[in-house]
């Protein structure tokens, strides 16, 4: 995808988002938003996960009816719509 195509896609997505959020024709500086997102992404502290001793046995995978936790439910792929004020 070329830069003009990316720009057009971002502008269209931003326009649809502002309409869905009830913000009307809000002028959004997409470069500023992307820059802020980049700063936030690189500022997150990512602590290392604790290590597990190798002598500890691993838990078997959960199976329905095996007494363990049930497997996660599939995601619907849809976020709930925000309520309009």
- Tell me the residue length of the chain: 85
How do the pLDDT tens digits run along the chain, 85 residues long? 778 999 999 999 999 999 999 998 888 999 999 999 999 988 887 777 776 665 555 555 555 555 666 666 666 666 666 776 6
Compute the chain's Rg from CA coordinates. Answer: 22
pLDDT (0 to 100) of residue 29: 92
Quick one: tokens of 7? Answer: 């720009």
- Domain ranges (residues) in the chain: 3-42
Asked if 62 contacts 68 with a C-beta cutoff of 8 angstroms, the reply is: yes
| Burial class of residue 77, CB neighbours in 10 A (0-12, 13-18, 19+) | exposed
Quick one: tokens of 58? Answer: 């691993």
Query: Using the 8-state DSSP alphabet, how is residue 65 labeled?
Result: T
């Amino acid at each position: 995808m070329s830069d003009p195509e990316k720009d057009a896609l971002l502008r269209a997505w931003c326009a649809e988002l502002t309409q869905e959020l009830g913000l009307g024709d809000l002028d959004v500086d997409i470069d500023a938003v992307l820059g802020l997102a980049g700063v936030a992404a690189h500022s997150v502290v990512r602590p290392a996960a604790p290590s597990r001793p190798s002598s500890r046995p691993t838990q078997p995978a959960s199976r329905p009816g095996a007494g363990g936790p049930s497997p996660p439910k599939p995601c619907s792929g849809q976020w709930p719509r925000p309520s309009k004020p």
